[in-house]
Structure 1
Amino acid sequence: MGLTSNKVLALAVVVAVALFVATVWLWPRLARRSWRAVGGRVGLLLATQLALFCSLGIAANQGFGFYASWADLFGRETGQGVVVDHAGDGGRGGPVEVLSSSLVQGVNGSRARTAGQVQQVDIVGRRTRIATPAYVYLPPEYFQPQYRTRTFPVAVVLTGYPGTAQALVTKLHYPRTAQTLARSGRMQPMILVMLRPTVAPPRDTECVDIPHGPQTETFFAKDLPEAVLAHYRVGRRAGSWGIVGDSTGGYCALKLAMHHPDVYAAGAGLSPYYRAPIDPTTGDLFHGDANLRNRADLWWLLRNEPAPDTSLLVTSSRVGEHNYKDTLGFIQRVQATHRTRISSIILDSGGHNFNTWRREIPPTLQWLSGRLVDR
């Protein structure tokens, strides 16, 4: 049974309840002062608390999508990563391989042309040889005859770290939200490409081209757009592409829009931070390269490089988010450039979690839609 399976959660809850009942039932028998009785009481209490902790942890993981599998949880995920392709195309038919497709859940319609479609895909970078799973949302218009020659704008959607791409569909409801907004005329139909910024798991690469390591920034700036262009009817101009993410994905979205305004016309960071951290999950990202380290610092970019011609959106909360003061400072710094455009969503309260981001996603998609063109 998988880590995210409801059966695993149900089993953990049943075990916790059974241990609680056993503790209550057996406690009178273990009331003596012998070492066996004391050991029994201690064992029951520890087992019950451990079972409760596991139940809560599994429920939280299902709610927030931190880990996709047991291997992911224990740092042993090896199924995806950096792929070295000695045969040119790795034996694949193209840079995007569609594994399955389904209708968008939670909307009316029994066919793709009325309900839209979510495709589970594998994407392989031609330059970087990075392979990563993703989900692609295609709006109903993509399948309608009157739009057969039309290209669509694209929003790349990134999770936080560690995150799962599936959570963007099932927990944050990006496809359903995009379709609801488009049907009500509040945004244009867009294609969403949803994936993790962690394209070389379990390492957190912070969307950096790591010396002698994964070339993550190149993947998102060059390989990913080329792969999507080769497979879907999407716009080719910079004005057709935007990028959005939460937490680590928010930092990546802002950085990619600032580094590559010729690719991404707009970048939105939900609860982002503004410089790449160095910690046990990232390892040494820069290998002593000061220029690489500086360019991963958005504050340094605004001080030392020409302001990029792009649009940025940042979000935070007055209560509950640690990035509130930094976000206000970042807004002021961008405003001082007089070239890069900056917008914000500041909630009165909201933590660093899915519930907060679900409140921010609808206006963010509307903002993004207003800055992208379809040709």
Structure 2
Amino acid sequence: MAFIDCHFYSDSLGVSASMYVILPQAAQNQIGLASAVYGVKHPTLYLLHGLSDDHTIWMRRTSIERYASKLGIAVVMPAVNRSFYTDMASGPKYWTFISEELPALARSFFPLAEDRELNYVAGLSMGGYGAMKLALSHPDRFAAAASLSGALDISDRALNFPDDFKLIYDDVSKIKGSGNDLFYLADQLSGSTRQSPMLYQCCGTEDFLYEDNIRFRDYCRELGMDLTYEEEPGEHEWGYWDRKIQNVLNWLPLPARP
């Protein structure tokens, strides 16, 4: 794999932004690392961070490079600060950045596939919310989305982070039934003719977000969405996420390599 620490200017944010990118490499003699590639353009996983983290965290806390290498997929890990992947009421437009600008820039910099069937998104905690928001808002762009211990009931979470949410949403009473509400997005998608992405969701039973996850799981099941759900004993911590990101990678609907 190739590892790139990428810094670039963002028009939507108005400042320089950062992302880590790992790219497949067809290495023949690298010791201890299995390598695979699909072709000229790589299947891509956008991997999102949580509230207290940044774009470096997946590389620091897991072996994501080693896990992705044998599958032959690229992984894009952007930084979005404490934005909840939203155009902030009192701050930068992080939803525009993550949903529109970042994919276009990443594809201009690196050989990343544009096809829906070769694009996926995943994240933990706040990033789990961001992953589901991206896939449910743009099902034409992502074949699959995964949430690890996601903050999926955002209107309920607003009570826990009042300072952040005031800056992000201004009036938190407007979250429910809006494009920031995953329950609303799931409902809108299920009632449309658009193809729904495959969804994966996991949460530890001792996680403080467990009840949020149960509510979202049950709602998606009621709508008949293609949801894979896993739970086991676990808390909101990296040992759990390091194990589960491996499950996510194995679950992704990657096409057969040529």
TM above 0.5, one fold?
yes
Identity percentage of aligned residues: 21
Alignment counterpart, residue 132 of structure 1, candidates 3, 8, 17: 17
Alignment counterpart, residue 229 of structure 1, candidates 107, 122, 138: 107
How far apart are 1:169 and its partner, in Å? Answer: 0.8
Q: 1:298 to 1:147 in 2, by over 3 A?
A: closer
Higher helix share: 1
Q: 1:350 to 1:238 in 2, by over 3 A?
A: same
**1:129-185 CA distance string (max 9 Å, x none):** 3532111111223999x9696211111111111213222112122112222xx2xxx
Q: Counterpart of 1:150?
A: 40
Is the contact made by 2:116 and 2:140 (CA closer than 8 Å) also made in structure 1?
A: yes
Q: 1:372 to 1:256 in 2, by over 3 A?
A: farther
Q: 1:330 to 1:288 in 2, by over 3 A?
A: closer
RCO (CA 8 Å, sep 6+): is it higher in 1 or 2?
A: 2
Matched letter for residue 130 of structure 2: C
**1:181-233 CA distance string (max 9 Å, x none):** x2xxxxx31000113331xxxxx211111246311111111111101111111
Matched letter for residue 358 of structure 1: D
Is the contact made by 1:152 and 1:374 (CA closer than 8 Å) also made in structure 2?
A: no
Q: Counterpart of 1:310?
A: 197
Matched letter for residue 217 of structure 1: W
TM-score, length of structure 1 as denominator length: 0.58
Q: Counterpart of 2:163?
A: 280
Aligned positions, number: 242
How far apart are 1:242 and its partner, in Å? Answer: 1.0
Bigger Rg over Cα: 1
Counterpart secondary structure, 1:281: helix
Q: 1:137 to 1:329 in 2, by over 3 A?
A: same
Alignment counterpart, residue 234 of structure 2, candidates 326, 329, 350: 350
Q: Counterpart of 1:105?
A: none
Counterpart secondary structure, 1:165: coil
Q: Counterpart of 1:50?
A: none
Coordinate RMSD, CA, aligned: 2.9
Alignment counterpart, residue 159 of structure 1, candidates 49, 62, 65: 49
Q: Counterpart of 2:215?
A: 329
- Structure 2 CA distance for aligned equivalents of residues 224 and 119 of structure 1: 15
**Where does the alignment leave 5 or more consecutive residues of structure 1 unmatched?**
1-115, 183-187, 199-203
How far apart are 1:291 and its partner, in Å? Answer: 6.2
Matched letter for residue 129 of structure 1: G
**Where does the alignment leave 5 or more consecutive residues of structure 2 unmatched?**
30-35
TM-score, length of structure 2 as denominator length: 0.82
Alignment counterpart, residue 196 of structure 1, candidates 79, 85, 90: 79
Counterpart secondary structure, 1:306: helix
**1:296-352 CA distance string (max 9 Å, x none):** 12123334x23261121111122x2123233233222112223x32112212x1110
**1:245-281 CA distance string (max 9 Å, x none):** 1111111111111111122222111000213325223
- Structure 2 CA distance for aligned equivalents of residues 279 and 310 of structure 1: 32
Matched letter for residue 239 of structure 1: E
Is the contact made by 2:51 and 2:125 (CA closer than 8 Å) also made in structure 1?
A: yes
- Structure 2 CA distance for aligned equivalents of residues 324 and 142 of structure 1: 41
Is the contact made by 1:164 and 1:195 (CA closer than 8 Å) also made in structure 2?
A: yes
- Structure 2 CA distance for aligned equivalents of residues 158 and 259 of structure 1: 16
Is the contact made by 1:160 and 1:197 (CA closer than 8 Å) also made in structure 2?
A: no
Matched letter for residue 49 of structure 2: T
